[in-house]
Chain A
């Protein structure tokens, strides 16, 4: 029952977000600001996490496939497909929910409890559109790019760590990552990234927008936002995989 109430209120918020904006010109500037704040500031995290995870996955694949019957190129192949199918989109999205999602919900939440949102409304501004739409657009533009970058870096991480640790040779690894390459996997992860981007930006916005109380409640709702968004990402992962990879 509570769940249905949330879904309904979330729907109403979306309607408000996508209603006609006051002054379109101002939105360009806001979107650029959000791209910088939410997107560019996440690049460092994506680089580190992707390189290291790609490296670790490669080493673990190599050690677990230490079997003469398994061809050596499987290590590169395994890392590539893990990166493309699951890591760069879903795992990255979960990690970025912690960063971007909590940022969004605490920013909007603190604006709510300090009456900055009322203040916008009083000026006759559609506060939901003004505050949230630029974030949704920015995250939807930037997350697919981060996803591609993450996949690339993850594969690169394996290429660096595998040969360095003596777990796989450069040529075996390169054979692996080029072996029956299916470009649809890239499309698949980009499609997923679009869905996740919408979730990561809109769900925490919803939680922030409906905070009542003070700083404590802002913190609580931010935690709730991250948990809910993460669960939704996993649900969508399951659905999209089922629909798109049959």
Chain B
């Protein structure tokens, strides 16, 4: 469980996050939705500590990230898996080396143990014959899957994904969404996903936090979201002709 309390963050004069509080439960997929530029990435990066929040508390199962010293923060980070928007695979390493990387850095496993773990993680994301390819040689959807495999290599307790299906075709996007959802249940982790994709919301959204202009505008479940009276949220969800017709 991750609890954030009164998070605010500014860049210079510009207030990007304004007093956001919520709770993300374990074993369910928590979504942060909002328009491009609404502050989703900044919020996610503030929660993991890549941006330092100006105010507020961030509690990882009760442990306060902002109150920790640097060493404890580093230790906590090893319990976090993160999938960045573009995948952020190391482009000088092969697919297999990318997944191995955290194992090399942080475990004392034998070669055989590492290989087992790498094979397990890649198999889990359905990558079977690209072990020795470089990131530039595989498709965007595969890059995202490898990024997920790398993120789960160290058995994280928390998983963060920044727009995991942006830039993918709708079919691949759903595959990625479902994969993250399954992993969340299977390993019982706390997962937070940034997205602006309504398909994701309807497919896997259990708890949804809607950010609008840096503020928490609405939160609820996907069942609630279709009946909402909230104006900005309605405008966001029903922005296309297709969704408007669906609503009718």
Contact = CB atoms under 8 A, between A and B. Distances in A.
A118 B77 contact: no
Contacts of B82: 119, 122
A26 B104 CA distance: 9
Contacts of A22: 105-106
Interface string B54-90: 0000000000000000000111011010101110111
B80 A122 contact: yes
A115 B84 contact: yes
22 contacts: A22-B106, A23-B105, A26-B104, A26-B105, A115-B84, A115-B85, A115-B86, A115-B88, A116-B89, A116-B91, A118-B45, A118-B84, A119-B82, A119-B84, A121-B50, A122-B48, A122-B50, A122-B80, A123-B78, A123-B106, A124-B75, A124-B78
Q: How large is the interface on B (under 10, 10 to 19, 20 to 34, 35 or more residues)?
A: 20 to 34
A116 B78 contact: no
B102 interface: yes
Given A22-B106, A26-B105, A123-B101, 13 more contacts: A111-B91, A115-B84, A116-B88, A118-B84, A119-B82, A122-B77, A123-B77, A123-B78, A123-B102, A124-B73, A124-B75, A124-B78, A125-B105
Nearest to B71: A124
Contacts of A122: 48, 50, 77, 80, 82
Contacts of A111: 90-91
Contacts of A114: 86, 88, 91
Interface of A: 22-23, 26, 110-111, 114-116, 118-119, 121-125
A97 to B, nearest CB: 22
A121 to B, nearest CB: 6
B202 to A, nearest CB: 28
A162 to B, nearest CB: 45
A111 B86 CA distance: 11
A121 B89 CA distance: 13
Counting chain B CB atoms within 10 Å of each CB, which of A111, A114, A121 scores highest? A114
A125 B84 CA distance: 16
A119 B45 CA distance: 11
Nearest to A130: B105
A115 B102 CA distance: 16
B153 to A, nearest CB: 10
Nearest to B81: A122
B50 A123 contact: no
A68 to B, nearest CB: 61
Contacts of B84: 115, 118-119
Interface in B84-100: 84-86, 88-91
Closest 4 pairs (CB-CB, A-B): A124-B74, A124-B77, A115-B88, A115-B84
A52 B89 CA distance: 42
A240 B65 CA distance: 48
Contacts of A110: 91
B22 to A, nearest CB: 21
Contacts of A115: 84-86, 88
Nearest to A121: B50
A80 to B, nearest CB: 41
B223 to A, nearest CB: 33
B50 A116 contact: no
A118 B50 contact: yes
Nearest to A116: B88
Contacts of B75: 124
Counting chain A CB atoms within 10 Å of each CB, which of B45, B88, B104 scores highest? B88
